[in-house]
Chains A and B, each alone.
Chain A
């Protein structure tokens, strides 16, 4: 039977405020353990939380950027459970009255726009960080650092609209890109500022009802989300094929084994006994505030993409990639301002530039080749100073050393040969060295033309101007 996966994602994103959500403790990452705590975030009796205005503003921003409706009334609730990383004995979250509802994010699937619903966005506080002993002496202990306790989070809940691991990856990348465009979250999955849980089920294709779902946790990179989903979908399909039932449960992704493992028995049935937090008064966000935040929104990925297509006349595919990160779009526009041929800039960025960055796992804002350097190199190609082929080497050299393209070309002697006499001499050599091919060519084996071009290029170390080589070679071979 043919099956179809149904996936919904819950993303937790840390908001980039200076202080925590309900107290003035610093949110700086990587400080000494337990140096950023106070009576509020450690849940001391009698302490009172007060919401950070900036955190609310950031959450409104995200709500607007994902086309949600900002709730005129939202309310913090206590989610009660015991765990050593949770000093209060409850998490402050939102339950019946989330901050934003009913939005969406569009992704591209097979060249077509697909809309993923955002059911809700709510605010909550983060828990502390647990480390587990790894030596024989420490193996029976866990160690708690409360610095992260109370760092503001938004939870973004998608609709069950995602139909493949790739779509899940695209949705996550798009959401992260929006958070980064808004400058409200670093979006770093490895560091845990952007975390994802997945609800996944499978059903026979064409059926309306959902199958039984499992919840996947512990995936700390985009690649692992996709791999975990792939595994889980296959596992559930195999179970159904064998006439077994899928059990509703939480499963952990095991990175080393590449499998999902049931948490059954290790976790009590959830009963969080939510109730309104009496210490925090309701949020009533009025139209004025929403309007003010809306005015401050930057140009978002989709808008930027549309503008790039219009203004620079580049294909949608290019625009999609170039706007996928704010820094990339900035790089492109910088470069085009120096070298106003957008499609050429786009080709080089999507080709050589992204390939190098990907290999080094570098972000574009740390690219050794500045937009200006790239633009200068493209000008040199245009002027005919270097050939497009040599430019590939120049680019690599720029990437490696960060040097000016002109200096590289001068130092390496890579200036293009435009001197007809010099090219003719190289052609003559190629012809003299290959009499058999010359004869075949003249008998009509025109395919051999490329062979001669290659020979001439070899003679000139790739520096001959290709246009001249073509012209002169044609003439010579005819004779």
Chain B
């Protein structure tokens, strides 16, 4: 199975060197080939398993809990101004 390593990298915002493209490309292909084996099984009539443990309906009540102080969350911002995260302009 062939995969477009450049597309995957672009979607994940990863910059790969030519060398990395070759390395990761073949590694990913091996993984996909391995997964292909599973595709040979007949799974019609089976509900897809999204979670390994059979747990459903875990809820929290609608209660407000304390949030991060503003300084704390802004401390992880690359840049900040007037209480906002400051980023390169997004085209609108």
Contacts and interface: CB of A to CB of B under 8 A. Distances in A.
Determine if chain A interacts with chain B: yes
Interface of A: 17-19, 23-26, 32-39, 42, 50-56, 75, 80, 82-84, 130-133, 138-146, 266, 268, 271, 273, 276, 278, 281-284
A210 B59 CA distance: 42
B82 interface: yes
A37 B68 contact: yes
Interface in B68-85: 68-70, 73-74, 81-85
A140 B89 contact: yes
B88 interface: yes
Contact of B51 (A51, A273, A276): A276
B67 A51 contact: no
B57 interface: yes
B67 A36 contact: yes
Contacts of B69: 35
Given A51-B59, A281-B58, 14 more contacts: A19-B62, A33-B70, A33-B84, A34-B84, A50-B60, A75-B50, A132-B90, A139-B89, A144-B86, A145-B84, A145-B85, A276-B48, A281-B56, A282-B56
B62 A17 contact: yes
B85 A51 contact: no
A33 B60 contact: no
B61 to A, nearest CB: 6
A445 B80 CA distance: 84
- Between A24, A80, A271, the greatest number of chain B beta carbons within 10 A of the residue's beta carbon is seen for A24
Given A53-B59, A56-B59, A281-B55, A37 B87 contact: no
A34 B58 contact: no
Contact of B87 (A75, A141, A282): A141
Nearest to A129: B84
Contact of A53 (B62, B65, B67, B89): B62
Given A33-B82, A34-B73, A282-B51, A24 B90 contact: no
B92 interface: yes
Nearest to A49: B60
Contacts of B87: 84, 141-144
Contact of B67 (A25, A145, A282): A25
B11 interface: yes
| Across the A-B interface, the 7 shortest Cβ-Cβ residue pairs | A24-B65, A276-B50, A143-B84, A54-B62, A53-B59, A144-B85, A33-B83
Nearest to B81: A143
Contact of A143 (B7, B10, B61, B85): B85
A80 B85 contact: no
Contacts of A39: 68
B19 interface: no
Contacts of A138: 81
Contacts of A145: 83-85
Nearest to B55: A281
A278 B11 CA distance: 20
A23 B62 CA distance: 9
B21 to A, nearest CB: 19
A454 to B, nearest CB: 60
Nearest to A80: B11
Contact of A140 (B7, B62, B88): B88
Contacts of B88: 140-142
B64 A83 contact: no
Nearest to A83: B90
B73 to A, nearest CB: 5
A34 B85 contact: yes
A131 B92 CA distance: 10
A33 B70 CA distance: 8
Contacts of B86: 141-144
Contacts of B68: 37-39, 42
Contact of A130 (B59, B74, B81, B90): B90
B40 interface: no
Contacts of B91: 266
30 contacts: A18-B62, A18-B63, A19-B62, A25-B67, A26-B64, A33-B83, A33-B84, A34-B83, A35-B67, A35-B69, A36-B67, A37-B68, A50-B59, A52-B60, A52-B61, A53-B60, A75-B50, A130-B90, A132-B90, A139-B89, A140-B89, A141-B81, A141-B89, A142-B90, A143-B87, A144-B86, A145-B84, A266-B91, A276-B51, A281-B56
Contacts of B64: 18-19, 24-26
B58 A284 contact: no
Contacts of B73: 34, 37, 42, 146
B76 to A, nearest CB: 8
Contacts of A266: 91
B2 interface: no
A17 B90 CA distance: 30
B60 A51 contact: yes
A25 B86 CA distance: 22
**For B50, B82, B92, which residue has the most chain A Cβ atoms within 10 angstroms?**
B50
A273 B82 CA distance: 35
Most buried by A among B7, B65, B85, B89: B85
A43 B7 CA distance: 24
Contacts of A51: 58-60
